[in-house]
Amino acid sequence: MKKWITKSEISKLLKTYSVRKDEFQPVGESGYFFQSKMIKGYTIKISQETIDAPDYFRKTGRIIVSHSQSNGKRVYVDVWERDRNGDLEFRFRNLWNQPLSDADYIKDLEEENDQLLQAGRKLKEQLSAVQTYSGERNSSHKLIIDTDIEEDKANLLKQLDDLKGKYQKLKDDTFVHNARGAGRKPSPERLKSIEQVKALLDSGCSDQDVMTQLGISRATFYRYKKSIRETQKKNKETL
């Protein structure tokens, strides 16, 4: 069985990020953690991406290269994939606090779905208890309006309707796709990144300045820029 990454592939990755020959030196015994001799505190960690969620393969086959500053804070990660010949090629760069793929986004949606379902079940139990209590009131009290009970019942019904709406919205947002994240659906974080690119471009920043400030690759930048142009075109057509 082929190992998830070979020594020659690790050398290729390190060479890609090196300013000078043998810039990165291994740290520890894992063989996947390296420190720069040129920039104090700058480290690189190489790992394989995994997805720990139901209905998804645990290993995606993608290689993750994490970059950390001198204070140990991870600032961005690079994603590498294998082409048809099995050779590693750079795919895209993500800021550390953004999802790498729709699988991460869907996992968050699934967790929120579970929370909504649990809250909905609890509200139904409370509503059932209120209705049971109201039905057990004896006939001598039928003409008495129990304001507190009626208000509680109305509030519970309203909360239940709100939860149903949120749950339906989450179901509509959830995008079924394969384990490798094909057919990526724009996430809120990606839309935010696109807005940041547009704001910097509108302020007069050059393309290179935008890529440097946001820490994104050239491919990602032009993909975002294309999305901005398409959105502007649609807005003009609707006017």
Residue 106: pLDDT band with limits 50, 70, 90: low
The pLDDT assigned to 175 comes to: 43
Contact 98, 193 (CB under 8 A): yes
pTM > 0.75: yes or no: no
Confidence of residue 139 (pLDDT cuts 50, 70, 90): very low
More confident residue, 94 or 32: 32
* pLDDT category of residue 181 using cuts at 50, 70 and 90: very low
* Cβ atoms of residues 77 and 62 within 8 Å: no
| Residue 101 φ then ψ, to 5° | -160, 170
